[in-house]
Structure 1
Amino acid sequence: MATIAALMPADHGWVIDLGNAHQVETGPLDPDRLTAMVAQSYRALVVPPQQAFLISFVAGAAYESPNFKWFEARMADFAYVDRIVVAKSARGQGLARSLYEALFAHARQDGLSQIVCEVNADPPNPGSDQFHAALGFMPVGQALLPNGKTVTYLARSLHGQ
């Protein structure tokens, strides 16, 4: 079982580096953006040392992501996973699943009904598609973003889970 902790200021350097190594999938990070994201987040979690992180938001957060806004326009009760990244050297150890399970537990405890996210459809991300399907996420929509990416929106109910 992975050790999961809150994302703290001491983690910012490696989280930015790891996030930027995967910015095609998740978008760029810089110190100001990360600080603002963590301040507005529902849960910002890490797997130390420098192995993985997850940043999420709940409906009503002051977060301007077009993907978050898509969900907010359609749903009232959710936690949105903005980004989850696992270092290449740490893949295959169940860290992403552990981060999601921790988020599911927090969201259930707080009375939320679902977890939502998006995955790239173009450029495709088949590994992420398979991973999210295995966790019980279902497609609920799709959009073409201003940056030219097409994303598929996913949701997973927390009821009966």
Structure 2
Amino acid sequence: MASDITSQATVRPFLPGDLSTLLTMNNAAVPAVSEVTAEELLDLINQALICLVAEVDGEPAGFLLCLGDGADYGSPNYAWLSARVTNFAYTDRICVGETMRGRKIGDALYAALFKHYAGTGRSFLCEVNERPPNPGSLRFHGRLGFEEIGKADHGDKAVIYLQRPAEPKAGNGS
């Protein structure tokens, strides 16, 4: 049954009417992502490289928000990655609605992201909490080809930085 729901998922760019649903989804996912206000989320979306929304039955089921190089973003994780990598798409947050989890919505979001930036030379970056532990996200990102490139301990949180190489341009017949 899960594959039926996945096949019905459509990934599209963020629309202004999505904000309240994405905010609720984001804040329900704390501590895997940081809590934000509507204004903070809108600010992130406005400076994002891309914000993708997975939709099932006309309703947002998940979202992925990426920042590129040179964003004006005070996150210590973004700063750590920016100091070490150039030409990137940094997944600041990926969230899937509670009732949609386990249905490959995250896979669909990342597949759309990888396809969108194929051939650009952009690598893909993110961090996953090591403390509090988020083993599900580590497995998920590992399955997608992300590999550890560093760690940081922020006191209340510790993170593992991950990178996936740039996607080659889609070739003919492959």
Q: Calculate the TM-score normalised by the size of structure 2.
A: 0.86
What is the match of residue 102 of structure 1?
112
Segments of structure 1 that go 5 or more residues without pairing to the other structure are none
Deviates more, 1:119-128 or 1:62-71: 62-71
**Aligned counterparts of 2:168 and 2:21: Cα–Cα separation in 1:** 36
What is the match of residue 7 of structure 1?
14
How far off is 1:138 after superposition?
A: 0.3
Segments of structure 2 that go 5 or more residues without pairing to the other structure are 1-6, 170-174
Question: Is the contact made by 2:118 and 2:168 (CA closer than 8 Å) also made in structure 1?
Answer: no
Q: 1:61 is paired with a residue of what secondary structure? A: coil
How far off is 1:112 after superposition?
A: 3.0
Amino acid at match of 1:117: C
How far off is 1:6 after superposition?
A: 1.1
Amino acid at match of 1:119: V
Amino acid at match of 1:75: V
What is the match of residue 46 of structure 1?
53
What is the match of residue 90 of structure 1?
100
Structure 1 counterpart of 2:157, from 144, 149, 160: 149
**Aligned counterparts of 2:134 and 2:141: Cα–Cα separation in 1:** 11
Amino acid at match of 2:151: Q
What percent of counterpart residues are identical? Answer: 36
Deviations 1:47-70 (A, max 9, x none): 121310110001112222111111
**Aligned counterparts of 1:8 and 1:62: Cα–Cα separation in 2:** 22
What is the match of residue 57 of structure 1?
67
**Aligned counterparts of 1:151 and 1:73: Cα–Cα separation in 2:** 16
Structure 2 counterpart of 1:119, from 123, 128, 150: 128
What is the match of residue 78 of structure 1?
88
**Aligned counterparts of 2:167 and 2:103: Cα–Cα separation in 1:** 27
Q: 1:120 is paired with a residue of what secondary structure? A: strand
Runs of 4+ in structure 1 displaced over 3 angstroms?
Answer: none
**Aligned counterparts of 1:12 and 1:93: Cα–Cα separation in 2:** 22
What is the match of residue 32 of structure 1?
39
Q: 1:51 is paired with a residue of what secondary structure? A: strand
For these two proteins, the number of residue pairs brought into alignment is: 159
Q: 1:24 is paired with a residue of what secondary structure? A: coil
Q: 1:108 is paired with a residue of what secondary structure? A: coil
Q: Calculate the TM-score normalised by the size of structure 1.
A: 0.93
Structure 1 residues 159 and 102: CA distance shift in structure 2, 3 A? closer
